């Protein structure tokens, strides 16, 4: 990789199984990530098998006998410790974080508790309630955000604005995701993100959603033109340095391995007269997207690493007991 970044060791693996698809709400994005990764790994000279994961994945991998698995799954089963546990049982080296870190990071409320207490990372107050409780009455004073406890890609996220008389009915209608939701104090301001690749902390991106989008939602993340990325983010030096410091602290507090990405909100008083200057970490993603609009490949490229070099590093970092 580029100067300053961890360099990939000499190739130790040949046959890579790229795990993608699955059955979470993020299946489509996982297929995009997996296809991009598989194409790049073939370009790097690996023998690649693309595995659209189903519930017989253990039997499929036992028959396939790859040297290593690149985990390109997103959402439930893929980044919550489940597939990681299967791969540990099969003793197949795999990429990204292990069982415990994956399960912790995927559960937003528990991840907050660990990041705040162990890593001293600032987070917004939140509570876990049922959808029925969140629909019956405000459990926090508006504005606040309602999120599934264990989903990614902004799936099922609802913002309840200031002055709302009662919670919107759509909170109850989202029960297909999970009956438990996290209700979190809304923090206005700028959307920032930063990644860890091994021990290397990247620069910081500001994500500016397309006009008309309320926040960095599913469309802003994955639709071409859904958002604009400022890299490096045009924020004060102290906030910039704080984002990088907290990104590493969160990665280490949760026990992440390989690549992770942390997302932040900064209520910049320069941008909003009523801004408080507050910086909070929203969450840590242990399986960042690898699509054409994804942030980690962009951050790696800014540091001088091509997409092929990035995925090669991720593969060569793979192991069991993560």
- What pLDDT is attached to residue 10? 75
Shared domain for 61 and 141, answered yes or no, is: no
Shared domain for 284 and 215, answered yes or no, is: yes
Would residue 261 show up in a list of annotated catalytic residues for this protein?
Answer: yes
| Domain at 228, CATH number | 3.30.470.20
User: Which residues make beta-bridge pairs with 126?
Assistant: 184
Rounded Cα distance between 190 and 275, Å, is: 10
Active-site hit among 222, 244, 260, 265: 222
Active-site hit among 50, 131, 190, 261: 261
Strand-pair category, 15-21 with 68-71? parallel
Residue where a domain terminates, one of 169, 185, 201: 185
- What pLDDT is attached to residue 306? 92
CB 137 within 8 A of CB 167: yes
Shared domain for 111 and 232, answered yes or no, is: yes
Domain membership of residue 155 as a residue range: 130-185
The answer as to whether 4 is a domain residue is no
Active-site hit among 191, 289, 298, 322: 289
Shared domain for 87 and 201, answered yes or no, is: no
Active-site hit among 30, 71, 97, 153: 153
| Domain at 59, CATH number | 3.40.50.20
Shared domain for 216 and 262, answered yes or no, is: yes
- What pLDDT is attached to residue 177? 56
Would residue 144 show up in a list of annotated catalytic residues for this protein?
Answer: no
For residue 316, the SS3 value is: helix
The answer as to whether 28 is a domain residue is yes
Per-residue tens of pLDDT for the chain, all 322 residues: 444 566 767 789 999 999 999 998 889 999 999 999 999 999 999 999 999 999 999 999 999 999 999 999 998 899 999 999 999 999 999 999 999 999 999 999 999 999 999 999 999 999 999 989 999 999 999 999 998 887 654 567 889 988 888 888 878 775 555 678 899 999 999 999 999 999 899 999 999 876 655 554 444 444 555 678 999 999 999 999 999 999 999 999 999 999 999 999 999 998 888 889 999 999 999 999 998 779 999 999 999 999 999 999 999 999 999 9
The answer as to whether 253 is a domain residue is yes
- What pLDDT is attached to residue 155? 63
- What pLDDT is attached to residue 11? 81
Would residue 186 show up in a list of annotated catalytic residues for this protein?
Answer: no
Active-site hit among 240, 285, 294, 317: 285
User: Which residues make beta-bridge pairs with 51?
Assistant: 19
- What pLDDT is attached to residue 273? 86
Would residue 263 show up in a list of annotated catalytic residues for this protein?
Answer: yes
- What pLDDT is attached to residue 5? 60
Shared domain for 71 and 168, answered yes or no, is: no
- What pLDDT is attached to residue 164? 86
Element of type H or E holding 34: helix 27-43
Question: What residues contact residue 256 under an 8 Å CB cut-off, 6+ apart?
Answer: 97, 101, 105, 196, 284, 286
The answer as to whether 7 is a domain residue is no
Shared domain for 119 and 241, answered yes or no, is: yes
Total domains present in the chain: 3
- What pLDDT is attached to residue 78? 94
Active-site hit among 283, 298, 309, 317: 283
Shared domain for 207 and 178, answered yes or no, is: no
| Rg of the chain in Å (alpha carbons) | 19
Cα 24 to Cα 53, 54, 87: the distances in Å are 11, 11, 18
The answer as to whether 5 is a domain residue is no
The answer as to whether 135 is a domain residue is yes
Shared domain for 172 and 217, answered yes or no, is: no
Active-site hit among 21, 22, 24, 26: 26
Shared domain for 85 and 149, answered yes or no, is: no
Shared domain for 116 and 213, answered yes or no, is: yes
Shared domain for 110 and 237, answered yes or no, is: yes
Would residue 222 show up in a list of annotated catalytic residues for this protein?
Answer: yes
Rounded Cα distance between 207 and 66, Å, is: 37
- Written as six digits, the tokens of 299 are 């951050």
The answer as to whether 10 is a domain residue is no
For residue 136, the SS3 value is: helix
The answer as to whether 46 is a domain residue is yes
- What pLDDT is attached to residue 217? 45
- What pLDDT is attached to residue 171? 81
């Amino acid at each position: 990789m580029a100067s300053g970044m961890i360099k990939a060791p000499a190739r130790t693996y040949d046959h890579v199984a790229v795990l993608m698809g699955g059955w979470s709400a993020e299946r489509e994005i996982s297929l995009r990530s997996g296809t991009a990764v598989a194409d790049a790994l073939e370009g790097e000279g690996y023998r690649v098998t693309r595995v659209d994961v189903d519930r017989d994945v253990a039997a499929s991998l036992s028959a396939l006998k790859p040297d290593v698995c690149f985990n390109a799954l997103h959402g439930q089963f893929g980044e919550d410790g489940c597939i990681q546990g299967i791969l540990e049982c099969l003793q197949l080296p795999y990429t990204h974080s292990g069982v415990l870190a994956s399960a912790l990071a995927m559960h937003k409320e528990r991840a907050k508790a660990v990041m705040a207490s162990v890593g001293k990372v600032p987070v917004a107050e939140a509570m876990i309630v049922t959808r029925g409780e969140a629909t019956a009455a405000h459990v926090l004073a508006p504005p606040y955000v309602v999120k599934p406890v264990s989903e990614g890609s902004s799936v099922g996220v609802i913002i309840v604005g200031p002055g709302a008389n009662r919670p919107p009915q759509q909170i109850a209608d989202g029960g297909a995701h999970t009956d438990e939701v996290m209700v979190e104090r809304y923090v206005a301001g700028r959307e920032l993100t930063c990644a860890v690749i091994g021990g290397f902390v990247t620069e910081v991106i500001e994500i500016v959603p397309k006009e008309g989008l309320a926040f960095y939602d599913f469309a802003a993340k994955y639709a071409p033109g859904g958002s604009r990325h400022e890299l490096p983010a045009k924020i004060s030096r102290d906030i910039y340095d704080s984002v990088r410091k907290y990104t590493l602290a969160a990665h280490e507090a949760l026990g992440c391995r390989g690549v992770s990405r942390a997302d932040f909100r900064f209520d910049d008083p320069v941008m909003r007269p009523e801004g408080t200057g507050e910086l909070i970490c929203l969450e840590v993603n242990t399986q960042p997207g690898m699509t054409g609009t994804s942030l980690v490949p962009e951050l790696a490229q800014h540091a001088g690493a091509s997409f092929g070099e990035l995925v090669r590093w991720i593969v060569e970092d793979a192991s069991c007991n993560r």
